[in-house]
A and B are shown apart, each in its own frame.
Chain A
């Protein structure tokens, strides 16, 4: 069903919306973020000002933003979907040509008060756009080649731009995020099977291109693949980071070494300990109990989103919610796989826990959309 078909009057209005907020989700998000504050306090060596406090402020601002976005009717956001996508695309083009180069990659736009990363925005806008697209599209057409080619192009355009930055992690997230919406919308299995086969083939070609004049990846990217496959090949570089991360994680044991007692991070053995590798510190200090609890919190967030999506009769709302849940899932799944040695290091932060403004803001705005879908669902 779509909003064109049900009576809008049954939707809560004004401050009554507060009662219809998906409160369990708010509590779960706050719990995860709090775990983040705790860890940022710990890796700073018991220093609040360094990372934890700015992170708390940003979370507070993000939470307010989430409520504002949530109170705005979902049909407004559906109408904004195409615009959001266009703005993200234009911003991506701007970084492509005038971006701020930092950490060897060109990803940021300096707005003066915040360093904006347009690829973060794109992770959400692609989900919005595709949800709106399938809301509009006649269900019977959703598997016809032409109507599959359009969303595929809409995904590949930003992915291409992100890849030139180069940012493999984000490219994977954007393309998989879009694919999840397409899958949820009911696009035939066959397309996904073909794409998977094609990707496997492409990976094989990329690996074979190594060392030839038409090499398709940067040397450092090949190096990361090497170190992933065998960390001991590069004991001084990235392999060292992975080994140390694994040692930190494993040495946590069942119950951990205790808060602020992690020797690996305290003695500076861990790289990026406040950003991409923060999970290792948590695992070292709180052990399997702590790490698994965080994983459960994440899983619960996904579960609550999916329940909300399935119970929502509006097609845009449920596709959007599934897509955002999927993107969120990709964040923590890729990050955790990376630090546990299941995937190469691609530079994806642990959502709501890693230090960093851009990702947290965008995620909380995305959950604002989920709230909006939840509050304004047809009853």
Chain B
């Protein structure tokens, strides 16, 4: 395309014109920048120089006090205590090593402390204060304060640090705090400026972690004048931060303390729940650990001892642990069968001691068989054959549906770490997971709470609460935040026929209160606190053919970690239920004799709001109970204050 010379000349002229306009505009802007520069650097230079050199204003963060955590009656579970510490700033200290050695003559400082401080001070910028020693007692602290002029760069400081007055009792619920790590930071989308404070403490597990946002509070700021060397001259003003919210849990400190003590050193978990509100009154996992040692900075030896302990003290078994529920699952199967209409409560099934499926025999725990049993007797004696038959009739999917209605196989939303979902197997699940068809044998195993079925102690307690009320009770762990009540979740009717529930409750009542029931030994004789329950003993291993041939091996002869789990669920009073309890003792061998007494004691404790009168126990057991009570390390009932607990 050829253009006329006139066009191109006109175009060139136009470009020149526009370029001149652009050039002028750019020159004008450059002039504006130049004038601004002159204004700032020449006219106002003096003001800025003052700001920069003589009184550089520094903004420091004031960490807020972390929110307190209380039990349902206001007893302190997590508080803040004064922490006297000493920090050193490299910039002001000059020879850090020399200053530290002089400091070591005043307060106990190990060679390692000095070494660590030196290393850290080299790594960080010269003006960042580094903690030399923490948790000093008042005397050491005041000695440093008095000698501070002779120790350049050393500053005594008072801070707050987290303290858990009840130690191990609430370790799994409340959790603990620790310094924010790079990993924590990488997970935060928009980190709080507070995170820049070296060693700032945030919740690591449990309620401390889950309610971190509420507990942390908001940082305050203070403006301080520092001179050219960075030394603080004076504080100009401060904006106070906002302390973290006060959190009140639904747990009862005395009950929790009792439960934790009663579980002792067993590898066990227990949950006590209010059947109307769903309030978790106690939720314990043992053995436990002292959260205070994590706040202080746990030693490697202590930490590896916790990690290598075969009873896994760090695991919160009450919500994280999932177990085959064993016979405690029989209520679910019974309700599923009643709902499907494949059995009537009064219908009897004959138990010859086993049931045959193809060429395989499924044994009842009682070799000789139970004879003809109805629903009440089936629960009372925990007859396996009855439930094999029911499971065969109703099928796994109906059982799983009932399980989910009762809160099994569902993740409940609690502010605790790693809440487990458990497992309610279905045909579809097995196909997806194992790529195999569901077999009738699988249903039979599920019928007695073995095989694929898994539930956590929390879920078992909830199941019991739901059976006792017929309502879909939802668990609640936090009662209020900053005085604002956390609403009780609505407990809608489960939609299970009341007659069915009555039949099952009758069976559970018979377990404990009818002679010959598996739990008759742990009956309660006080009419106001009668108990209904169900024991469970679940296998953790497959019985080999060789073992079967050689006869049943007694649990006592097995190594600890191969023994059966002992379970017990109960509620009471059986006529007007108020509290439901579940207890799982890992490898405890027998549900009714190991987990049962613990569950009964917890239930009585919860119902009577303290140690129950001995008259609640059958006369023959009273002396033993009294002895056992004396050996428990309990907090005195009158001491519910936030002060250091004295152990009775």
Contact = CB atoms under 8 A, between A and B. Distances in A.
Given A253-B42, A263-B52, A306 B221 contact: no
Contacts of B49: 250-251, 253
Contacts of B53: 251, 263
A1 B41 contact: no
- Highest count of chain B CB atoms <10 Å: which of A251, A298, A337: A251
Nearest to B51: A247
Q: List 4 A-B pairs, minimum CB-CB distance, nearest first.
A: A250-B48, A251-B52, A288-B41, A253-B45
- What's the dominant secondary structure at chain B's contact region? helix
B256 to A, nearest CB: 41
A25 to B, nearest CB: 16
Interface range, B side: 35 or more
Contacts of B18: 183-186, 322
Contacts of B33: 295, 333, 336-337, 340, 342
A315 B40 contact: no
Interface in A238-285: 240, 246-254, 263-264, 267-269, 283-284
Interface string B253-287: 00000000000000000000000000000000000
B221 A236 contact: yes
Contacts of B9: 1
B11 interface: yes
B15 A186 contact: yes
Contacts, number: 152
Nearest to B9: A1
Interface string B26-42: 11011011101110111
B26 A302 contact: yes
A303 B30 CA distance: 12
A310 B38 contact: no
Contact of B15 (A2, A264, A287, A318): A318
B431 interface: no
B147 to A, nearest CB: 28
Interface in B5-22: 7-12, 14-16, 18-22
B193 interface: yes
B295 interface: no
Interface residues of A, number: 56
B14 A236 contact: no
B41 A287 contact: yes
B22 A183 contact: yes
A39 B29 CA distance: 25
Given A140-B7, A185-B15, A292-B37, A268 B26 contact: no
A254 B26 contact: no
A295 B8 contact: no
Contacts of A318: 12, 15, 19
Interface in A203-258: 235-237, 240, 246-254
A249 B1 contact: no
B21 to A, nearest CB: 8
B12 A1 contact: yes
7 contacts: A248-B52, A250-B45, A250-B51, A292-B34, A299-B26, A306-B19, A333-B33
B41 A139 contact: no
A251 B18 CA distance: 39
B35 to A, nearest CB: 10
Contacts of A5: 2-3, 8
Contacts of A264: 52
Contacts of B125: 268
Contacts of A298: 30
Given A315-B15, A318-B15, A246 B22 contact: no
Given A246-B48, A267-B56, A284-B52, 8 more contacts: A138-B3, A139-B7, A235-B221, A263-B53, A329-B29, A333-B30, A333-B33, A337-B33
Interface string A335-357: 01100101000000000000000
B41 A184 contact: no
A237 B61 CA distance: 12
A253 B10 contact: no
B171 to A, nearest CB: 35
B56 A269 contact: yes
Nearest to B15: A318
B609 interface: no
B11 A254 contact: no
B15 A254 contact: no
